[in-house]
Amino acid sequence: MRTQVAIIGGGPSGLLLGQLLHRHGVETVVLERKTKDYVLGRIRAGVLEQGLVRLMEEAGCAERLHAEGFVHDGTHVAFGGEMFRVDFTALTGTPVIVYGQTEVTRDLYAAREEAGLPIVYEVEDVVIEGADTDAPAVTYTVGGERQRLDCDFVAGCDGFHGVSRKTIPADILREHEKIYPFGWLGILSETPPVDQELIYSNSDRGFALCSMRNATLSRYYVQVPLTDSPDNWSDNAFWDELRRRLPPGPAEALVTGPSIEKSIAPLRSFVSEPMRWGRLFLCGDAAHIVPPTGAKGLNTAASDVQYLAHALRDHYVDGDDAGIEGYSAKALARIWKAERFSWWFTSLMHQFPDQTEFDRQLQRAELDFLRTSEAAQKAMAENYVGLPY
């Protein structure tokens, strides 16, 4: 089998890249390790920057997003038992959209299937061959048979544990990582959100986040040690702890109910460089991870996809390879800014095991500065709604 661009990974970044390239007349084949149902069963965040919304529009996949997504003009930040609001739209002219990553993926699957574009599921033992030559290929096993996909380019959208990044030689690849000494215990519940916008809370007991998927499905998180387990938390224990970490208003308004999903997510910052080796390109989690505090995971993947889709379009339509040559540097320049914001917001809102009283006082002072300074709020808002592509 042959195609122009082999896309490894059938999550949102691989599917979005495939759909954008299809709209430009570029052929793709998507290879996915799991089944479609498995991919759609993964619970992920859903705060979308306007850049991602525009890409979904460009891909012809934004109709349901606009019909069902929630426009959030700001967010709430709480500390010391009080809460203030950062107004994104007033400060930047731009809101964010709350629309679940699962729904983004579902819309992209629907578009690919409607166009009759190939997806190969349950592929195993993927090997990228000849990425540093003019004739790359991807070999893999499906249904017990070894297959070969010849191509012009390979897009590695296969996540942190995928094969794409590992294909780049060790003497070329540089990896930067920060592991945070805590995780997020999260639950999903069929309850109305406690507020129309997200609430980020810094309390003496640790961080908490009140989020949502839609008008009847809420997502809540509390900071816990990495050694903790979801089995240690009953639903009632979680709700009681969440209330303790919220200001009085939201704590009293909180509607509780049985959890339908409960898990602990570790937090890390990670960047690998370069994001291109020969005709292999890395996108999204294959190249970088951010802590979820700043809602940048899917959005940083989207900026990679935008740069790569346009670079490949320029190659095939205009014979221009400037975008291909500059892809890694351009993508990384934006990624590092998103990493900085996610690190800053994580450091601001969480309690650290080795934090001294001096550190804690500085944290409170910075939160108070954010509360009282329009300039500080504008800087936060610009980063939260998404820096330009």
Q: Which one of the listed residues 99, 180, 200, 221 is annotated catalytic? A: 200
| Catalytic option among 296, 315, 330, 350 | 296
What is the distance in angstroms between the CA of the first residue and the CA of the last residue of the chain? 34
From CA 287, how far away is CA 162, in angstroms rounded?
Answer: 10
Task: Provide φ and ψ at 121, rounded to 5°.
Answer: -95, 160
Among residues 109, 221, 307, 384, the one annotated as catalytic is 384
Answer whether the bond into residue 274 is a cis peptide, omega within 30°. yes
- Indicate the helix (H) or strand (E) that contains 201: strand 199-203
Instruction: Establish whether 384 is a catalytic residue.
Output: yes
Cross-sheet strand order for the sheet of 70-72: 47-48, 96-98, 70-72
- 180 carries an active-site annotation: no
Q: Give the separation between CA 163 and CA 170, rounded to whole angstroms.
A: 13
- Bridge partner residues of 207 (DSSP): 202
For 164, the enclosing helix (H) or strand (E) is helix 163-167
User: Does 330 participate in catalysis according to the annotation?
Assistant: no
Within 8 A by CB and 6+ apart from 171, the residues are none
Active site residue 247: no
Q: Are 203 and 244 in contact (CB under 8 A)?
A: yes
Rg (CA), the chain: 21
CA dist., res. 308 & res. 206, Å (int): 39
Show the tokens assigned to 299.
């959005």
Q: Which two tokens stand for residue 146?
A: 């070894």
How many of the other CB atoms lie within 10 Å of CB of 32?
Answer: 22
22 catalytic? Reply is: no
292, 307, 315, 350: the active-site residue = 292
- Residues listed for the chain: 389
Angle at 322 between CA 317 and CA 323, to 5 degrees: 75
Catalytic (active-site) positions = 72, 200, 292, 296, 384
